Amino acid sequence: MDLTAKKNDIEGKKLDVLAEISKRLEQKFEKRKFGKRECFVNKNKVPFNVHTFQTLSAFVIEYAESDEDAMLDRFEDGDVFYWDEFHTEQDILDAMLKEIESAN
């Protein structure tokens, strides 16, 4: 597999994992609209989103400190989860859920 094909394969897997993460988050957390953005809200009422980095094989959770910050699209990065630091997609998801549930 050449480098471009390998990069495309990794990017596709990231999007698949992100879709699965979103699906699991929808089952576990409330989803609300803040301005133009749909976000999840954890049990502590903290708005958050999950994104991938284009240039890295990683996911990041973004948090807003309040509903007002979420409305103004003011999110701050939480932990970064690097693809190659986990053995399985489930491991990534479990680590992310642990952080989300503990965010205040």
Q: Extract the tokens encoding 15.
A: 């999007």
Phi, psi of 33 (to 5 degrees): -100, 130
Res 73: pLDDT: 93
Contact 62/75 with Cβ under 8 angstroms?
Answer: yes
DSSP code, position 26: H
- The domain of 44 spans 3-102
Angle at alpha carbon of residue 25, lines to 33 and 39, rounded to 5°: 20
Res 86: pLDDT: 86
Query: In whole angstroms, what is the distance from residue 14 CA to residue 25 CA?
Result: 16
* Nearest alpha carbon to residue 97 among 14, 5, 15, 26: 26
Res 13: pLDDT: 73
- Count of structural domains within the chain: 1
- Tens digit of each residue's pLDDT, the chain (104 residues): 565 555 566 566 777 877 888 888 899 999 999 988 899 999 999 999 998 876 777 889 999 999 999 999 999 988 899 888 988 888 988 998 888 888 87
